[in-house]
Amino acid sequence: MALEGKDLVAYCGIYCGECGAYKKGKCKGCKEGGGFSRCAVRICCKERSYATCAECDEFLTCKKLDNFIARAFAFIFRQPPRIEKVKRIKEMGIDVYIKEKGRGNG
């Protein structure tokens, strides 16, 4: 089943609609149990009942969200760091973020 709306945005701000693994059907998406099952960001957001880290007052200093591994993956996959994605969600709201991503922007 294809994800829609807010379910297409992982807890850390990654947009599943841009992910090759998701597009090829190799990943169900973060909110459906795809990806890394022990992801600290996913665990934290689920415990706090957050749709994304943008709902947390501490995301700017969070080491679960912004760390060396996260920045390395962003570099390897030529994507902005997760914290930048979450900042964008916080600035514009998740609905506008989804519309922007759905159009293939940023």
Count of structural domains, the chain: 1
pLDDT, residue 105, reads 60
pLDDT, residue 4, reads 75
Check pLDDT > 70 for residue 9.
Answer: yes
Selection from 40, 29, 38 nearest residue 67 by Cα: 40
Is residue 95 in some structural domain? yes
Is residue 67 in some structural domain? yes
Task: Return all residues near 39 (Cβ < 8 A) that are at least 6 apart.
Answer: 11, 12, 30
Is residue 106 in some structural domain? no
Query: What is the pTM for the complete model shown?
Result: 0.88
Residue 106: which pLDDT band, with cuts at 50, 70 and 90? low
Is residue 84 in some structural domain? yes
pLDDT in tens, 54-90: 999 999 999 999 999 999 989 998 889 999 999 999 9
The boundaries of the domain holding residue 37 are: 5-101
Is residue 12 in some structural domain? yes
Is residue 63 in some structural domain? yes
Is residue 33 in some structural domain? yes
